[in-house]
Chains A and B, each alone.
Chain A
């Protein structure tokens, strides 16, 4: 189509962009079965937050059990198995994945690309509602005997496991379908619905991250669906896939599971990378360093992420000659990851840094995530992994990348976009306290697990060597984890009080430059009164804002859109 200004091509999809659904008026259509991406995003946040609470309490049960080397009265080995299995499953599938994609992807991404909604709002609604249903099914497995083979549910234990394992299959399958649908929805949205002038290399980095993540979810998740379907059939109809006594193979499950679950760790971390890439330049008031390198390394990580799954299986008896390529490719991923880390650090360099809460969390992320990446490197080395596999060293590794990475990134995102969601500011001092307590307690909880693991303490066992050294570090970790949990109270209280009586935030409290900050807070129903045109990347602090057509939108809360279009034909 026509060029509308030097450097601005009208996107081919602007007519659909301009389409506005009439705003619903009933409570149910507005808040329960809404098709507005912002409402759905917040619904994901609330639901995911509730599941975080439950899964967090399960974590504290684990740490409580480990206060003593012989375990605790009332927590049998079987209960313990159920508790850590459900903790892991819920954290991965009911908390982190829905929060990084469903919640932040939904709330932020369409705003950042200058769209009025996602490509398929009804599909979005459907995908959201599968999520709480899956959660209820998963947790109800406690009633009939929770799954007991860990979040990875390796056969043959999972084939023989308690009845709840079948519910586990159903719940994870459902959440998988939901995340596949969301992935498809986001790809189409990002590919087709960007505002005119927003070329791929002008997209905010958070959008790049969502794009790569969506690609991972819609390809990898169906592999998990297949593995689950087979496990379901084996448990319910006795169909032999995994049972070695009947010609099946437990290692088959490991291949199918990790073909999904390694990409899934990138599903969990890439959006956090995206959040950090927004927060750091905003609070350094400096263009992000290496925009293109960050964007391309995101895609490189996503692609390479499909070819490293067997690094989880070095001790499984897989063919030895395959171990070397898997080890090398795993280590190769450290290159794009390192590119990102260095680009973020370089963004800070010489900036005028404001230590707000989101900035603290983003910087904390840099430190803890890097530590987690380093231990990942140790684990990728086959000979070292023979020693470390199945020990607390692995637990330390993935909590550094998942809590220190994804969850810290999520906290940064919460504080950063809270004013956009509610129109109010949170209490900054309380936020900073939350950060410092989290950061210290997190490291105290998980750091000792490195040496506990290296000394050979196995994961997933409720008792351990009663030598004083083990007892000390376990108690140290447990008590720190109680502090970590308590710091969540600050977080919850902060948002509760802000929601009720926080200072009015205004459209752009941070002086940020991406599109979501160009409209009023909270964002109006139709997002943009007029779809803006985009002239450059958003990060060039010091230049004028690279948008055209936004003036009309200032203080647009009450205004009606200039162009309300025809209903879209339904065929």
Chain B
């Protein structure tokens, strides 16, 4: 290989005008943050998976029957119908979030605001539903038995993620109203959307495992 030819062609970080250069830096920074954020979500998946493993393990290999027996009578199942409605609320918020981001990309601000507001509202409704569910679940509380332990730990962790998500989205909404993002640069919104979808999908698993299995 001819080193001198190589040298002629070798330039780095030069030959861009300033605007181009800034755009390239934005793009690269954004891609790195995106990858980092997705990796963070992956490791969060492992956190939930480990607790799900614990639940499956306790339910299938340790407990003789499920729901477990406490003081001679079997615990009731959870209220599937109510949880189904609450699930739809959360999945619905995932869809509205998707459209909020799409509208942001297309510059349709009014629709963006509508969908973003809806998302936050539905997220808060889900949390309210969770609170109601917690108050009414007759499974002996968090520390009563392994059913309560796995149910309240997993849904509690998930609820905490939803709560963080609602705050996250509210901040993003506020930021976008203050002009922090424009229609080409909106990494915060992308991250918020991915996080919110992630929280919804965790719920798909929890809904199945606790209510439908």
Q: Which residues of A contact B (CB under 8 A)?
A: 3-8, 10, 12-16, 18-19, 119-120, 123, 180, 183-185, 187-188, 191-193, 196, 218-223, 225-227, 229-230, 233, 237-241, 246-249, 252, 255-256, 259, 530-531, 533, 535, 544, 548-549, 563, 565-566, 568-569, 571
Contact = CB atoms under 8 A, between A and B. Distances in A.
11 contacts: A3-B9, A5-B9, A6-B5, A120-B33, A191-B35, A229-B153, A239-B153, A248-B62, A531-B12, A548-B3, A566-B25
B169 to A, nearest CB: 16
A223 B36 CA distance: 19
Interface stretch (B76-84, B94-102, B127-135, B142-150): B142-150
A227 B40 CA distance: 19
A222 B47 contact: yes
Given A6-B5, A249-B61, 10 more contacts: A3-B9, A4-B11, A6-B1, A13-B32, A15-B13, A240-B146, A246-B146, A247-B58, A535-B1, A569-B25
Contact of B149 (A221, A239, A563): A239
A192 B31 contact: yes
Interface residues of B, number: 59
A222 B146 contact: no
Contacts of A220: 46
Interface in B159-200: 180-181, 185-188
B136 interface: no
A223 B21 contact: no
Q: Most chain-B CB neighbours within 10 Å: which of A196, A226, A249, A566?
A: A226
A188 B146 contact: no
B91 to A, nearest CB: 25
Given A247-B63, A252-B57, A14 B12 contact: yes
Interface stretch (B48-56, B117-125, B202-210): B48-56
Given A192-B31, A230-B153, A241 B7 contact: no
B92 interface: no
Does more than half of chain B's interface fall in helix, strand or loop, or is it mixed?
helix
Contacts of B62: 247-249, 252
Contacts of A191: 35
A565 B57 contact: no
A6 B6 contact: yes
Contact of B145 (A18, A246, A565): A246
Contact of B43 (A219, A229, A549): A219
B74 interface: no
Given A226-B47, A230-B54, A240-B146, A196 B12 contact: yes
Ranked nearest first, the 9 interchain pairs of A and B with the lowest CB-CB distance are A5-B6, A226-B50, A222-B46, A18-B13, A16-B28, A15-B24, A247-B146, A222-B47, A238-B143
Contact of B51 (A119, A230, A563): A230
Contacts of B35: 187-188, 191-192
Given A184-B43, A223-B46, A571-B188, A533 B5 contact: no
B28 A566 contact: no
B14 interface: yes
Contact of B36 (A184, A230, A239, A566): A184
Contact of A563 (B14, B28, B142, B144): B14
